[in-house]
Structure 1
Amino acid sequence: VTPLRRVTPTRGAQTPAMNEILTVHPREYRDAQQIAETFRDGVPVIINLSQMNEAEAKRLIDFASGLSLGLFGKIERVTSKVFLLSPSHIAVSSDSQDAEDSSFFVNS
């Protein structure tokens, strides 16, 4: 077994200015490529899953969760079918004091 070396991400002295947010309404799982490429470029992405069936929506959220974890970002549920992917250099504030449900998918 070859041990994996730990890579420490380097960050530039300046964080990119946020001047855009992408909103996507995916219809199928293959639309994940656009989400990944945009998020990788440091752009926050709002994902509206209302046009997807539940199985593919769960698969896409699993992918988005891994994507955000791998790029040190964050994924948050906005509504039962809308999620926000925010890169590490973006701070997201919420005025909601409600406790989050443990499941991303709650029957409406």
Structure 2
Amino acid sequence: MGKTRVSPTPGTAAESKTEIQPPSMYKVVLLNDDYTPMDFVVEVLQRFFRMDLEKATQVMLAVHYDGKGICGVYTADIAETKVDQVNHYARKHEHPLLCTMEQA
């Protein structure tokens, strides 16, 4: 009698050896405008990104002089949440500060 070869069942570990990929990462970015006070930007960076005063000031100056500053790099869900929180907080305080996210 001949030997019978058993194929792995679809969807089992024996069938596929896919590697687990790390999640896509996104930069949370503050954009410069001509109206939001610098101290408010520093406050946002400390409140939502847990930066100390020195780091928050560095990022605020990047926003001011370069047009944008990176607040941090996060997974999509966390980045979206941070963007929403910052934009809501800025509107609540009547500032046009805009926070966005872009793929890292």
More relative contact order in 1 or in 2 (CA 8 Å, sep 6+)?
2
Counting helix residues as a fraction of each chain, which structure ranks higher? 2
* Larger-Rg structure: 2
Q: TM-score range by the shorter chain?
A: 0.3 to 0.5
TM-score by length of 1: 0.32
